[in-house]
């Protein structure tokens, strides 16, 4: 009897097929070859007719060599850390594509000589935050704080309130980061109350700076007392304020959220913020403040290890100079319009036989921004069982589970994605 494994086409033959060769141009030789060999093994094992090897190889190939998938964020959390936080604006995405090629990131085209890296981005930040004498960009907010601690307080002390020794996502603790730089922590006050005299009594020859950290993702209420940056300026030490969430200026949607301009105007010498949170840009850490301090940070050897690439600089400049990014638009979304969208979507799904209902809901900023602040929103409620099917769909839709319901919250969903939600819900049903 003839062995059917002899009919399995060889790898060279499969890769020479015109359709497979075209796929190699888009996906790369290694990925396509590995996929073809997996399909060939299925044919050798008798799971597949040998004549189907080429067709099955093409069917098994991904659309892209990258495994990253676009996900519809219907959780009601505008800055969902597990979904990459802030979605970029269209101008920022366009800037990424331009920067992906050969660029003038560190070249002065007028002189033909080496230029200042990211000069246009730094200029954009200074224009957006007039109270900042200078600015510097590193790869995330934690890196910005680490650079400040290393350059200004290594071997010395950082004075901060006990109630600001915070832990944020994934077990990351601010005090652990600070002490890893070689600085010592001088804690003042109590968990819920700290006064200016507490800071003043802790200052000494070893003081590198006084640090104020935004609580980020929790709120302490009741019998509390804190010292604002405007009062800390009275101290005989540099004041560093980590505002965390990245607002460059006050936002009426989040009146209690700190911003860089106000903190500097109130007397902070250095402000630290994140780029991929409420600013709505790419992941990066922003350092804004006195020119002398920024220059010390920029010249420190650690700054080279923490610097950002051309893609980040391009997307950040486009975010700061350009129109309101998606995060800002979501923060100021009209609740009535969100409810109209939810009702229209629910009606379409109900007409198709799904048990859908439009409901009012509450969204949050997320990403460590505006803890405790709730944003009026609207959602489409479906049975809880829909959540898994939506998450495993194409494209994946991440919903929110609440009171045994699957909620498709529209706060972070652009209106042009409503049809995508409709199709996803129908497929999940």
| Domains of the chain in sequence order | 4-60 (no CATH), 72-81+329-428 (3.90.1150.180), 89-323 (3.40.640.10)
What does the pLDDT read at residue 166? 82
The CA distance from 153 to 207, in Å, is 7
Q: How many CA atoms are closer than 13 Å to the CA of 180, on its beta-carbon side?
A: 11
Tokens 């989040």 label which residue? 254
CA gap 316, 310 in Å, rounded:
10
Q: d(Cα 124, Cα 132) in Å, to the nearest integer?
A: 11
- The three-class DSSP label of residue 199 is helix
pLDDT of residue 372: 77
Contact yes or no for 95/282 (Cβ under 8 A): no
Q: CA 34, 40, 41 angle in degrees (round to 5)? A: 95
Q: How far apart are CA 375 and CA 267, in angstroms?
A: 31
Positions of the chain with pLDDT lower than 50, given as ranges:
none
Q: How many CB atoms lie within 10 A of CB 10?
A: 11
pLDDT of residue 6: 80
Strand order in the sheet with 77-79: 77-79, 357-366, 375-383, 405-409, 400-402
């Amino acid at each position: 009897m003839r062995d059917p494994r002899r009919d399995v086409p060889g790898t060279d033959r499969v890769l020479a097929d015109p359709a497979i060769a075209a796929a190699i141009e888009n996906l790369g030789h290694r990925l396509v070859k590995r996929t073809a060999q997996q399909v060939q093994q299925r044919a050798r094992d008798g799971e597949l007719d040998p004549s189907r090897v080429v067709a099955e190889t093409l069917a098994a190939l991904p659309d892209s060599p990258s495994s990253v998938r676009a996900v519809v964020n219907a959780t009601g959390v505008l800055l969902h850390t597990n979904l990459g936080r802030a979605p970029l604006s269209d101008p920022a995405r366009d800037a990424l594509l331009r920067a992906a090629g050969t660029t003038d990131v560190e070249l002065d085209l007028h002189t033909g000589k080496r230029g200042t890296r990211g000069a246009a981005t730094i200029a954009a930040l200074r224009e957006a935050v007039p109270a900042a004498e200078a600015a510097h960009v590193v790869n995330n907010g934690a890196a910005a704080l680490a650079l400040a601690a290393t350059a200004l307080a290594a071997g010395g002390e950082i004075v901060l309130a006990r109630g600001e020794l915070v832990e944020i996502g994934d077990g990351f603790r601010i005090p652990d980061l600070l002490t890893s730089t070689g600085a010592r922590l001088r804690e003042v006050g109590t968990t819920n109350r700290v006064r200016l005299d507490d800071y003043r009594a802790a200052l000494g020859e070893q003081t590198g700076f006084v640090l104020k950290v935004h609580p980020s993702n929790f709120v302490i209420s009741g019998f509390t007392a804190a010292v604002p940056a405007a009062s800390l300026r009275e101290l005989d030490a540099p004041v560093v304020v980590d505002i965390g969430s990245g607002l460059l200026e006050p936002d009426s949607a989040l009146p209690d959220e700190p911003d860089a301009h106000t903190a500097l105007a109130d007397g902070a010498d250095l402000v630290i913020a994140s780029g991929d949170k409420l600013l709505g840009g790419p992941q990066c850490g922003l350092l804004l403040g006195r020119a002398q301090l920024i220059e010390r940070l920029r010249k420190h050897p650690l700054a080279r290890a923490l610097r950002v690439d051309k893609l980040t600089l391009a997307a950040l400049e486009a975010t700061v100079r350009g129109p309101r990014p998606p995060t800002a638009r979501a923060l100021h979304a009209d609740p009535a319009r969100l409810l109209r969208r939810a009702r229209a979507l629910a009606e379409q799904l109900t007409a198709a036989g799904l048990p859908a209902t439009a409901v009012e809901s509450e969204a949050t900023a997320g990403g460590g921004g505006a803890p405790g602040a709730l944003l009026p929103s609207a959602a489409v409620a479906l049975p809880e069982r829909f959540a898994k099917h939506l998450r495993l769909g194409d494209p994946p839709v991440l919903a929110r589970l609440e009171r045994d319901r699957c909620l498709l919250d529209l706060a972070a969903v652009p209106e042009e994605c409503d049809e995508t939600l409709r199709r996803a819900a129908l497929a999940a049903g």
